[in-house]
Amino acid sequence: MQHANGFLKMVMKAKENIEEVSVEYTHDLLNNKVANQDYYLIDVREDHEWDEGYIPNAIHLSKGVIERDIEKKIFNKDAELILYCRSGYRSLLAGESLRQMGYTNVKSMEDGYSGWIKNQYPIVD
């Protein structure tokens, strides 16, 4: 997919503030191989993408509504939030918004859902 220059510029700016974690780190976290009790995995993809499959234990808050709805679902602004989308761009942008809202431990899963599938990790269809 060819992305617009303005979009890519915003993504690069978000990368300055949002840590990216690997799909392996996320997989290990979900399988209790990383010591962190207070974390949330958030799928920021569109509804139709979610309906096609998602990572187990993920919360669906699409990029279009995450700022509006996040505080109703996640009260602890210091919890580790790992966001993912298809490839890792929209999750960076959503993460930047959450950081501006006061969430202090926001991360983006590098390579997104595509990377998860590539590693043949489990999904919910």
Residues assigned a catalytic role? 85
- Name the residue among 53, 109, 49 with its Cα closest to residue 82: 109
